[in-house]
Structures are given as structure tokens and as C-alpha cells.
Amino acid sequence: MLNLCLKTPFSTKLEMKMDTLRKSLASMALFFTPILAMAADEVIAPPKEFSLANYDWISILSVLLALLIILVVARAFDIGALTEKITGKSVVKWNDVNAWVGVIVLVAGLIGVWYELKYHSIYLMLGNSASAHGSTYDSMFYWTFGFTFFVFIVTEVLLFYFMFRYRYSADRKAHYYFHNNKLEVIWTIVPTIVLTFLVLRGFTTWSKITTEIPKESQEVEVFAYQFGWKARYAGDDNNLGNSNFTLISGTNPLGVAEDNAVDELVKELEAEVVKIKGLQASINDSVAVWKKNHDYMVSTGLSRTYPEEYKTVKTKYTDGISGAYERTLEKDLKRKMTNLSRIVEYKKDRTFFDGSAKDDKITTEIVLVKNKPYVFKFRARDVIHSAYMPDFRVQMNCVPGMPTQFAFTPTMTTEETRKARNNAEYDYYLYCNKICGGAHYNMKIKVTVVDSEAEYNTWMASQAPFVAPVAVPAPAGAAPSGDSATVAPVTPTVAMK
């Protein structure tokens, strides 16, 4: 009997309705799920499969109940208004209602503020700063927070107090009060003094942090690119070699002025120039081959059997006869030649190529010594990035074509901070703090502060110096680079991409 009941069309309809409800609740829950800020090294878990058991039904029903109560109260007010209209007597004193609602909002708000301060004030600051200038920076934060918090509490209490105290009363008439010079002066002067204090303090602190760079500071170059960081330390000569974006190549990612690396790049570019010149010399042959292929495909009907392949052949052919192919080659050649001549000019400048880049070390993490002054020199390869080291209270934009810097002295080793934070796995990081593209969220480099120069030296010794690729001698009989006349025409199929 029961079985029969369950199989009725009614139960199928109910199931369908439940299914729709489940789906809509799922999408609602997804929409309202708060997006929690996650530490960069946390792994994002895959989304859980939807199940009704995953939801806190008590909370959902409580919210529904609260909505219902609001609806009932609103209805009651509607009835009250209707009664007033019919009887002509005042049932609800709206001014009193508003005044008391104001009091409730004030008290609830202040309880909220107290709750936040009690339970979340540990997140107000990032914890002990690990740099020499960090405490000045933190104190600035506390002063600003202190002033604004005091003003916030006073103005909120006054706002709701006045709203309550001077609500409408039939036996009181409002006093017409137009202007008061004393009041105007007070509420102009007080914020002026406070803001001047805060701004001047910020200005002097910023100037101090950014201009006072100790002479003995060690330079570290920090290079930003989509999506990562590289650091460069001076080698034994204690001198960071010069660099320029024109010199960047696959084997020289930072574009340092190092002879072998740049010679290799010149060779690569020369080979490309030869290749393009070869293609230019054989344009007519190429177009003839493409025409032949094209006509063959059309006459045999292959163009219809293989439409995608035909499209490629047709594009090549039309680009060939219209001159688009020729222009592309010209542009490509011009670009390569310009680059080549720039590099050749750079190479002539022996003060730029002073050999100091040879022993530079390019590293994938940063190691610093406690209490030693550093100046970080920032460069960016592609777009604007921002180097952000919250533990050291350091942040600086990294702008392509515009070197920037930030000097600071770390005062706590990684070990000390781990102990202070009671977290044996805590590490300092330099993050990117400017949304710079798809993988921006993962753009970081580890920073370790060690206790002694000896520890730093051990790490440094384990880092390989910037090794330039060894030039491979060209095989005997090969065409001398740059001489296009001896180059055989290149197969046209390789030509276009």
C-alpha cells in the first residue's frame, strides 16, 4: 500500500519540485558563500559536490523566520495606518518609533564595535615588524587609527543622541538657528590640526625611509616579470653589473651586460636576419609553390574535402600575391636589424660592459643578514608590478623602464619571527601587490633572514654565478653569418606561421 502511494504521479511531481528547490538553493548558497581571503601558500580545495547535508539548515530556517517576522510587523503597521485613516486618530507615533530604532541601531553598532575589537583586533596589525623603520610605520598606523576611532565613536553617539533627544514633540517648537562663527571656527580648526599632524608625520616618515640610505648598504636587484621574481646579487667584486632590456634573451633573462651572453644573442639575431633575407630572396618561388598547391586543391575537389587545410593554403597564396607576406618579412627584418644595431652599439661601450656582471648571482630566493642595511633595486620586464614585504613594512612599485628602490634593515631573523609567531613553518615572502595578470596571485619569492654573515656566505657559495653560454664554433663550411648571398632559398612551407 505504502509502495503504491509512493509511486503515484503526485510523489513524482513532489520529487521534481524538491529537485528544483535543491538546485535553486544550491545556486543561492553558492552566491552567498563568503569569499575568504586565503594565504598565498594555502591550497585551494576543489569544490565539494552539492549535498543537502552540507548546509546548516537551522541557520537557513532562522533567516526565513526572521524574514517572516519582518513581514508580519510590516503588515501590522499597514493595518495601523488603515485604522488611522478610518478613525482619524493616531495609533502609531512614528517619530517615537524612529527615535527608538535609532537608539537600537546605536547600541547594536557599539556592541558590534566592541566585539570586533575584542575578538579581531589581533588582525589590526600584522604583528611585530621585522625591520628597523617598521616601528615608526606601525606607530603612524596606531595614531591614525586612534584619532579616527575616537572621532567615529563621538560623532556616532552624538548623531543618535540628538536624533532621540530632539525628536518631534507637539508641545515644543524648533528654534531657528542660522549661523555661529565660533562653531564654524572650531570645527574647521580642530580637523585641520589633526590632519596636519597626521600628514606631516607621514611625510617626514616617508622621506626618512626613502632618502636616508646608509652608504654601506648592500645592493640587491629584484627583477619582476609575469609571473615571478628573480634576485641578483653582486659577486666577489661587490659590484652589480649593468643591464638593459635590449640585452634580454632566453639565456640572459635579466639582460645583464655580459659579453658571452650578449655575443650569443647577437649570433641568434644574425641567424634570424639571414633566414629572413633568404625568405625574401625566394618570395617568387614560394608564391609559385603556394599557387600550385592552391590550384591543385581546387581542381581536384580537395578544397571541399579538407576545408581547414584549404583555408591555410589559400591564406598563404593570397598573402603571397597581395604583397602582405613581403611586408611582414620586411617588418620582421627591420625589427631584428634595429635590435641588432642597438646591441652592437651597447657592446661598443666598454664602460657599460665593464665585466662586473660576470660573477653576479641570479637567485630564486632572497637571503639577508640580520641588522645589515640593504637597498633593493627594482626593475620590471613587462607590466607594472609592486614588491610588497608586509613583515618588513616595505612596498614599492616596479615599473618597466623606470628603476625604483627601497632601503631597509631587517631586524628579526626568520627563526626569531617563527618563535614570536609560534609557527615553526612561517616564512617571509616578497609578494606582488599589483594585479598584473592571470597568475598574479602566485607571484612571490621567499625571503630568509639569517643571523650571521657566515650563514649568508654558505648560502651564497651554493649559488651558481651568472654563467654565460659558451659560444659553439660554427661547423666548417657553414655560411658566414650576415651574408645573405650564399644562402640557399628556404623551403616556403617553413616561411609562414
Interface residues toward Cu ion, by CB under 5 A? 385, 432, 436, 443
Q: How many CB atoms lie within 10 A of CB 243?
A: 22
Cis peptide before 227 (omega within 30 of 0): yes
Which CB, 394 or 436, lies closer to Cu ion? 436
Which CB, 232 or 385, lies closer to Cu ion? 385
Secondary structure element (H or E) that encloses residue 376, with its range: strand 374-380
Residue (of 17, 367, 324, 40) closest to 220 by Cα position: 367
Which CB, 388 or 466, lies closer to Cu ion? 388
Which CB, 273 or 443, lies closer to Cu ion? 443
For the bound state, the minimum distance from the C-beta of residue 232 to Cu ion, rounded and expressed in Å, comes to 18
Lateral strand order in the sheet of 374-380: 361-363, 228-233, 218-225, 374-380, 404-408
Give the rounded distance of the alpha carbon of 364 from its chain centre.
19
Whether the CB-CB separation of 135 and 129 falls below 8 Å is answered with yes
Residues 305-337: b if buried by 16+ CB within 10 A, e if exposed: eeeeebeebbebbebbeeeebeebbeebbeebe
Query: Which residues contact residue 26 at a Cβ distance below 8 angstroms, ignoring those fewer than 6 apart?
Result: 50
Residue (of 411, 408, 332) closest to 375 by Cα position: 408
Which CB, 220 or 443, lies closer to Cu ion? 443
For the bound state, the minimum distance from the C-beta of residue 40 to Cu ion, rounded and expressed in Å, comes to 12
Whether the CB-CB separation of 336 and 312 falls below 8 Å is answered with no
For the bound state, the minimum distance from the C-beta of residue 397 to Cu ion, rounded and expressed in Å, comes to 10
For the bound state, the minimum distance from the C-beta of residue 382 to Cu ion, rounded and expressed in Å, comes to 9
Which CB, 294 or 385, lies closer to Cu ion? 385
For the bound state, the minimum distance from the C-beta of residue 385 to Cu ion, rounded and expressed in Å, comes to 3
Which CB, 383 or 496, lies closer to Cu ion? 383
- DSSP H helix total and E strand total for the chain: 14, 10
DSSP letter for each residue of 136-191: HHHHHHHHHHHHHHHHHHHHHHHHHHHHHHT---TT---------HHHHHHHHHHH
Whether the CB-CB separation of 255 and 465 falls below 8 Å is answered with no
47 to each of 30, 33, 44, 50, how far by Cα in Å? 10, 12, 9, 9
Pairing relation of β-strands 366-369 and 428-432? unpaired
Which CB, 101 or 439, lies closer to Cu ion? 439
For the bound state, the minimum distance from the C-beta of residue 443 to Cu ion, rounded and expressed in Å, comes to 5
* Separation of alpha carbons 331 and 316, rounded Å: 17
Which CB, 376 or 456, lies closer to Cu ion? 376
Which CB, 218 or 226, lies closer to Cu ion? 226
* Separation of alpha carbons 217 and 219, rounded Å: 6
